[in-house]
């Protein structure tokens, strides 16, 4: 028997939209409040049921882990990007930027640890705007010493597009389901 890995769960979300009266297209009189959020760790889109009497705001962080939750009653489940409200879609890019800013070391580590996918393709080439030439420059620069932050990458790899913005673009493409390989979204 193969031991199963416990499924990793999100601990915190960034609220993208809060609908205090539920979805407008739902039928019936008992509409419950609903929130849509982006997970901080695995960058998953989630539908959440807030606790009674709680008012949520876009970009507010909410704890959804196993411990005592202050604002969220329970997680309804994952939600595909096409089911996001217009507000949630508008807030998504800013929420992803917030995650990348707060976890800069995690994304810089990707530049330090990225490996080949095959004989012809490298993980770095999956980033938008990064071709073979930039890939080789990143590999050479990280041989000298690991990158410390986005500014360090920008200074040591000439003519590289802004590392933060290419990470954000890649995450958004993965959330939209446009990518074969998942680098950051699980």
CATH of the domain at 149: 1.10.150.280
Question: Residue 54: which residues within 8 A CB-CB, separation 6 or more?
Answer: 70, 71
- Residue-wise pLDDT for 78-112, tens only, equals 999 999 999 999 999 999 999 999 999 999 999 99
Question: Residue 82: which residues within 8 A CB-CB, separation 6 or more?
Answer: none
CATH of the domain at 24: 2.40.50.140
The sheet carrying 12-19 orders its strands as: 61-63, 12-19, 34-39, 45-50, 72-78
| pLDDT band with cut points at 50, 70 and 90 for residue 8 | low
Enter the tokens of residue 43: 């960058």
94 in a domain, yes or no? no
pTM for this structure?
0.88
Domain coverage including residue 56: 12-89
- Residue-wise pLDDT for 21-39, tens only, equals 888 876 666 678 999 999 9
Domain final position from 33, 57, 89:
89
Asked if the model's pLDDT at residue 120 lies above 50, the reply is yes
């Amino acid at each position: 028997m193969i031991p199963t890995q416990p499924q990793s769960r999100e601990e915190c979300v960034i609220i993208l939209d809060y609908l205090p009266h539920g979805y407008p297209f739902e039928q019936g009189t008992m509409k419950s409040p609903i929130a849509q959020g982006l997970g901080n760790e695995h960058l998953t889109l989630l539908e959440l049921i807030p606790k009674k009497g709680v008012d949520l705001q876009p970009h507010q962080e909410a704890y959804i882990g196993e411990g005592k939750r202050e604002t969220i009653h329970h997680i309804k489940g994952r939600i595909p990007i096409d089911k996001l409200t217009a507000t949630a879609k508008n807030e998504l890019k800013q929420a992803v930027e917030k995650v990348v800013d707060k976890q800069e070391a995690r994304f810089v580590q990707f530049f330090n640890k990225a490996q080949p996918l095959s004989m012809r393709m490298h993980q770095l080439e999956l980033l938008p705007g990064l071709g073979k030439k930039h890939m080789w420059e990143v590999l050479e620069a990280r041989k000298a010493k690991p990158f410390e932050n986005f500014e360090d990458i920008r200074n040591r790899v000439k003519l590289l597009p802004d590392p933060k913005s290419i990470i954000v673009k890649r995450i958004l493409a993965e959330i939209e389901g446009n990518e074969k390989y998942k680098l950051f979204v699980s």
